[in-house]
Structure 1
């Protein structure tokens, strides 16, 4: 069905599997985190040959990594922004092995850094100094998926995309979708309370995760697994581990509720003349698409230009100041497309939507999603990229972007914004040729001060990690941070679990 001078180009109805992948240019290895950020090492023990021998006895020499080249891949983060100096990576294959490792490390006062797919953006998944990296990629078993209850039980090292495929085979869908799904681990997702593209439809992981199994600092295995949505038996301790970024315990297994997979998908990509038009379109989408709206993404022209420039993509519509990508998922393709077409027609008549395309064809949906999902990695191709994941009031959602454009001036190559509009989650990106103290001081702490002034959150979905520890107070009250410290001291009195992360360093 064509609408209004072919501005809306409709095609057909089912959603296929979207492949998310790219090959990045080789990046310069960053300087050590301890040097760039001038951090002092805490009084943990250093790993000795005797320790390595004990680890080899526990998990096998094959899974104790000391090779410098392989170590580098675990010491440097995805953004090439932080770099640790770990001398050993351990790859346990079971909860029991992980428990034995932690018991030994606790006794010897050896600090550890839990690591999943290492796709984090705040330096939380790599060491700061010489912490032992505990890679969970061998703990990758999907134990069960029950199509009746929708409950999936999996080890923490299961790759998100693999869990999604297995859930799909049972007529279910994982309530989490990320651009990094081909490499990130479900345990890491839960540990950072990852948000992603489906929060507007399915909510956060605090609502979807039914239970966790976690290995504490002293090696104790804490079983908080549950197979029920309603389990009102005292304190819900599982929530302490969701979003704690491996500082209170290492999640080894989890149970997650997977809703029925939708039978029909449609995606629209539209151009808009102003941010006010973006807000009005979002409001209309909530009212007119309601229960079938599953994603609502926004990006500005500079963000889209990065993806087009670095990956040779082609935009399906002309150039506009803003773009929105909306996805619906439901059970009746004809009904959903009729609602979508009506919504788009109304938007164009109101002058909020200038141009757009809608499709239900798997291949075309894949191409449209690439426009949004390759933006984060495209900006890294500019050279160096400062990435800020913040929550802001919707009316001021984009306000910080032009402010930072003016503040950074010629020091920045590109200052742009994109993100999950439906969740008030803006991804502010500032790219430049390379990291320099000059632009760093121009950006921080100002970007967090501005966010705090708007009563926003300094971290919407990526956590605090290492890079945001000194800015936690911009969102959390002092007494709340004090209580977080008390919980940390209770759970990990020696502080060996992912030190230098989440909580302020002083």
Structure 2
């Protein structure tokens, strides 16, 4: 039967973003050296002392960063894979300041990289060469909240967790939950169309974002801060900027529909013998839990082992035995007795059907956090294991784990598994077909990269998947977009980019294939 073992409270997640010193960031190789095929655009000018003088004329001196040590954390991504050479970071507080800065950069043909919390995983939020970084970290005001409709409007630099805490006091919640919620900015979330843990229940940002305020490259402020759920007048322009990764402009304001915070949250963890049984569990969850099902996460025994190894005995398996696969099921509703009855009925059915052998149900908030930590700590545990190659793909659910198995076989066949490659693990969101394939290695090495790529992209395309489910394209996957989009679609996207950003100043070298093919060294 399902047991009710007490669990230790979850430790605080390690900070994403700027959690390293300037000295340690200098050990990261420059992106231009890792990607020697990338050439600095001759259409973009280099920064001059006159440019710095102008920026100081529109911003307070403390909002124009030029000190080398202070610049380090803006030039390096949090995974320490990408390092740019920007010599200035701007910290505007208002949309007007962003508009003035962008208009000037556009006139001067200076490359610009918009940056939020710097928690991205594909190199999209840091410079490649000497682009001007415009950070939204000082644009963090909540503009308004309508308790009747649940609509919040805020600056783009608001931290996701801060917004969620603000809404919690008013009985609402953000429809987005990420491991980096303590550092990531809502503007960055929208710019990358972040998915997160509860897309199964609340959908994507394409549906929950009602309006945006965006500054175009020429300094034009596109004020589309609508709070309406229905508006069929003309093209829905905000959709262009959701997932555009800063290549069309800088998001400065967001209007979003937020759901009511659940009065009842229940979490269960079960162990399973195969991925086929993971799928059976998901089908049964949709059938029996339907309207209260809010999350359905899975991970394999390799992921569980990494969490145990790197987060101590407090994160041993709460089940009586270890299993090849684990599934965390969360329900959220308004009636605790009704919701728990439905969850218990679902779990009993799983036992009767011999789909699972064991499981545990959280009995309080502490146990809920503890069970969730087993899933949320996986990315950090992978990073602690050494170098980690992260791939974020969406695949039809029946084939979701096959990629992990095939990748293990491939790396073993070429003699890398157990040598340079330590583990190949899989985890993710079964509810939306999103697999996080992580490959831990002793170091980043061209031999490992060449064994993984383009195989992982070819495999995904062959199975009608997407090479980026939620991390975006950035620099890492810019050249790989063709595995998921047709030439005609890429051509149309380029035309849109050319129309809005004719001088190509916005987040250059990202998102689109360049004329020079490059490969990660």
| Fold conserved between structures, TM > 0.5 | yes
**1:399 equivalent in structure 2:** 402
Whether 2:468 is the aligned partner of 1:469: answer: no
**1:30 equivalent in structure 2:** 28
Q: How far has the Cα of 1:314 moved from its partner?
A: 2.2
1:167-201 residue CA offsets vs partner (Å, 9 max, x unmatched): 11111111000010000000000000000011000
Provide the C-alpha distance between the structure 2 equivalents of 1:438 and 1:417, rounded to a whole number of angstroms: 21
Provide the C-alpha distance between the structure 1 equivalents of 2:341 and 2:457, rounded to a whole number of angstroms: 43
Gaps of 5+ in 2: 516-521
1:210-240 residue CA offsets vs partner (Å, 9 max, x unmatched): 0000000011100111111001111000000
Provide the C-alpha distance between the structure 1 equivalents of 2:33 and 2:357, rounded to a whole number of angstroms: 50
Whether 2:374 is the aligned partner of 1:371: answer: yes
Provide the C-alpha distance between the structure 2 equivalents of 1:18 and 1:265, rounded to a whole number of angstroms: 20
Whether 2:191 is the aligned partner of 1:188: answer: no
Conservation of the 8 A alpha-carbon contact between 2:5 and 2:318: no
Provide the C-alpha distance between the structure 1 equivalents of 2:492 and 2:59, rounded to a whole number of angstroms: 36
Instruction: Write out the 4+ residue segments of structure 1 that deviate beyond 4 Å after TM superposition.
Output: 16-19, 22-28
**1:302 equivalent in structure 2:** 302
* Equivalent in 426, 429, 450 of residue 459 of structure 2: 450
Provide the C-alpha distance between the structure 1 equivalents of 2:222 and 2:11, rounded to a whole number of angstroms: 36
Provide the C-alpha distance between the structure 1 equivalents of 2:69 and 2:375, rounded to a whole number of angstroms: 33
Q: How far has the Cα of 1:18 moved from its partner?
A: 9.3
Whether 2:329 is the aligned partner of 1:326: answer: yes
1:70-105 residue CA offsets vs partner (Å, 9 max, x unmatched): 211011112111111111111001000000000110
Conservation of the 8 A alpha-carbon contact between 1:217 and 1:492: yes
Conservation of the 8 A alpha-carbon contact between 2:387 and 2:440: yes
Provide the C-alpha distance between the structure 1 equivalents of 2:182 and 2:145, rounded to a whole number of angstroms: 20
Conservation of the 8 A alpha-carbon contact between 2:387 and 2:444: yes
Q: How far has the Cα of 1:305 moved from its partner?
A: 1.1
1:130-168 residue CA offsets vs partner (Å, 9 max, x unmatched): 111111000000011111010000000000000001111
1:443-465 residue CA offsets vs partner (Å, 9 max, x unmatched): 11110000000010000011111
Conservation of the 8 A alpha-carbon contact between 1:18 and 1:366: no
Pair 340,18 (structure 1): closer, same or farther in 2 beyond 3 Å: farther
Report the 3-state secondary structure (helix = DSSP H, G, I; strand = E; otherwise coil) of the residue aligned with 1:302: helix
Provide the C-alpha distance between the structure 2 equivalents of 1:351 and 1:500, rounded to a whole number of angstroms: 52
Pair 184,197 (structure 1): closer, same or farther in 2 beyond 3 Å: same
Conservation of the 8 A alpha-carbon contact between 2:10 and 2:370: no
1:323-353 residue CA offsets vs partner (Å, 9 max, x unmatched): 0111100000111111101101111111111
Provide the C-alpha distance between the structure 2 equivalents of 1:20 and 1:206, rounded to a whole number of angstroms: 28
**1:71 equivalent in structure 2:** 71
**1:342 equivalent in structure 2:** 345
Provide the C-alpha distance between the structure 2 equivalents of 1:451 and 1:405, rounded to a whole number of angstroms: 15
1:253-279 residue CA offsets vs partner (Å, 9 max, x unmatched): 010000111100001111000000000
Provide the C-alpha distance between the structure 2 equivalents of 1:225 and 1:196, rounded to a whole number of angstroms: 24
Q: How far has the Cα of 1:22 moved from its partner?
A: 5.3
Provide the C-alpha distance between the structure 2 equivalents of 1:25 and 1:111, rounded to a whole number of angstroms: 26
Gaps of 5+ in 1: none
Report the 3-state secondary structure (helix = DSSP H, G, I; strand = E; otherwise coil) of the residue aligned with 1:413: strand
Provide the C-alpha distance between the structure 2 equivalents of 1:191 and 1:144, rounded to a whole number of angstroms: 21
Listed as ranges, the matches of 1:275-314 within 5 Å are 275-312=275-312, 313-314=315-316
Q: How far has the Cα of 1:17 moved from its partner?
A: 11
Report the 3-state secondary structure (helix = DSSP H, G, I; strand = E; otherwise coil) of the residue aligned with 2:214: strand
Q: How far has the Cα of 1:10 moved from its partner?
A: 7.7
Listed as ranges, the matches of 1:118-267 within 5 Å are 118-267=118-267
Conservation of the 8 A alpha-carbon contact between 2:15 and 2:183: no
Pair 25,125 (structure 1): closer, same or farther in 2 beyond 3 Å: closer
Provide the C-alpha distance between the structure 2 equivalents of 1:301 and 1:340, rounded to a whole number of angstroms: 24
Provide the C-alpha distance between the structure 2 equivalents of 1:25 and 1:139, rounded to a whole number of angstroms: 23
Provide the C-alpha distance between the structure 2 equivalents of 1:69 and 1:163, rounded to a whole number of angstroms: 30
* Number of residue equivalences: 498
Whether 2:18 is the aligned partner of 1:41: answer: no
Provide the C-alpha distance between the structure 2 equivalents of 1:243 and 1:333, rounded to a whole number of angstroms: 37
**1:382 equivalent in structure 2:** 385
- Tell me the TM-score normalised to structure 1 length: 0.96
CA-based RMSD: 1.7
Whether 2:490 is the aligned partner of 1:490: answer: no
